[in-house]
Amino acid sequence: MFNTIEPEAFFEQLKTQFAEKILLVEKHYDVTVAEVSHDVIKNVILFLKEQGFQFLTSCNGLHLPAAEKKFGMIYHLHDFKRNLRIRIKTFTQNDPPHFPTLTDIFPAANWMEREAYDFFGFRFDGHPNLHRILNEDSMEGWPLRKEYPLEDQARFDKDDKMFGR
């Protein structure tokens, strides 16, 4: 289990810095999670980096078709010195969603953001090379959005009678 030493202090600071832009701070399972307003996400991550969160573990997209704010980005940051992990979330309702790029803060974000673009169609403003990474450029649609069908549409051997669908 993760060793979480008092991350509350950070979030107090974070709250004084960004006030009402921090929508939610809670401890969920073993990490502290903060939900941040969409317009300050980059500033929050810059602030956290200055505070010692030097390592971007991962970032990924999320699609919530039922929610009011449909699209989200989730960032996992890690502070090696204090061995502290936090998760930052941000949501937006625009389609296509725009997020600021983190490539100038963490070079590692480059491909992860391209992956989020490939899967969800998120636009990262200021990204140096934003095009599909895993699928072909000619592909249409955003495969990890909930409405996109998983199965290959060209299969002809799947008889509905046999599969009971």
Partner 1 sequence: MKEEIKQDLIGREYTTLNLGPTHPATHGIFQNVLKMDGEIIIESTPTIGYIHRAFEKLAERRPYGQITTITDRLNYCSSPINNMGWHMTVEKLAGIKLPKRVEYLRVIIMELARIADHIICNSVIGVDSGAMTGFLYVFQFREHIYEIYEEICGARITTNIGRIGGLERDFSQTAWLKIEKLLKELPKGLKEFEDLLIRNRIFMDRTINCGPISAEMALAYSFTGPNLRAAGIDYDVRVMNPYSSYEEFDFMIPLGTNGDTYDRFMVREQEMKESMSIIKQAMQKLDKLEDKTSYNAEVPEFYLPPKNEVYNEMEALIWHFKIIMAETSVPKGEVYHCVEGANGELGYYLISDGGRTPYRLHIRRPCFIYYQAYSEMIKGAYLSDAILTMSSMNVIAGELDA
Partner 2 sequence: MSDKNLTNINQKVERLEGYEGPGFLATTLDKAVGLARKNSLWPLPFATSCCGIEFMATMASHYDLARFGSERLSFSPRQADMLMVMGTIAKKMGPVLRQVYEQMAEPKWVLSVGACASSGGIFDTYSVLQGIDRIIPVDVYVPGCPPRPEQILEGVMKIQEMVHNESLRRRNSPEYAELMASYGIK
Q: Which residue ranges make up the site for partner 1 (CB under 8 A)? A: 1-3, 28-31, 33, 54-58, 60, 62-63, 74, 76, 80, 83, 85, 87, 106-108, 110-112, 115, 119, 132-136, 143-144, 148, 150
Cα–Cα distance, 47 to 30 (Å, whole number): 22
Q: Are 44 and 36 in contact (CB under 8 A)?
A: yes
Q: 66, exposed or middle or buried, with CB in 10 Å at 0-12, 13-18, 19+?
A: exposed
Q: Give the x/- contact pattern for partner 2 in 87-126, rule: CB under 8 A.
A: ----------------------------------------
Tokens representing 65 are 């078709």
At position 65, the amino acid (one-letter code) is P
**Partner interacting with residue 155 (select from partner 2, partner 1, none; CB below 5-8 Å by kind):** partner 2
Residue from 152, 159, 160, 165 that binds partner 2 (CB under 8 A)? 152
CB of 144 to partner 1, least distance (A): 6
Q: State the pairing for strand pair 71-79/55-63.
A: antiparallel
